[in-house]
Amino acid sequence: MPPSSDDGAVRRVVVLPKPLHARPAGQLARLAGRHKENTILLVAGEKNANARGVLAVMAMGAVTGTEVTVTVTGPDAEAVADEAADILTAAEAVDG
């Protein structure tokens, strides 16, 4: 079973296959918007961001190979954490 914690938060740790750019940041913000009762926090190194903020997520500066911890609290946290991890690990190419 995927990692969870005693505080009710669900955590997923992913390694980025590409830099964290605008498209996945926007997808994470839309996910957070669809699940307003949940909190989705991202941590990469010493930087963190709430997934609701596209610019905050991009400002983390996470590049290919960065380990990102996704922490979700609230109802359906397991499913939301899985979807957030899927967004972060999608193998789409970076535009530009």
Q: What is the pLDDT of residue 8?
A: 83
Q: How far apart are CA 62 and CA 75, in angstroms?
A: 28
Report the catalytic residues.
21
Mean of pLDDT values over 16-44: 96
pLDDT at 59 over 60: yes
Angle at 60 between CA 57 and CA 64, to 5 degrees: 100
* Domain residue extents for the chain: 10-89
pTM, to two decimals? 0.87
Higher pLDDT, 24 or 2: 24
Grade residue 63 by pLDDT with cuts at 50, 70 and 90.
very high
CATH T-level topology, domain 10-89: Histidine-containing Protein; Chain: A; (3.30.1340)
Q: Where are the alpha helices (DSSP H) in 1-96?
A: 22-34, 54-59, 77-89
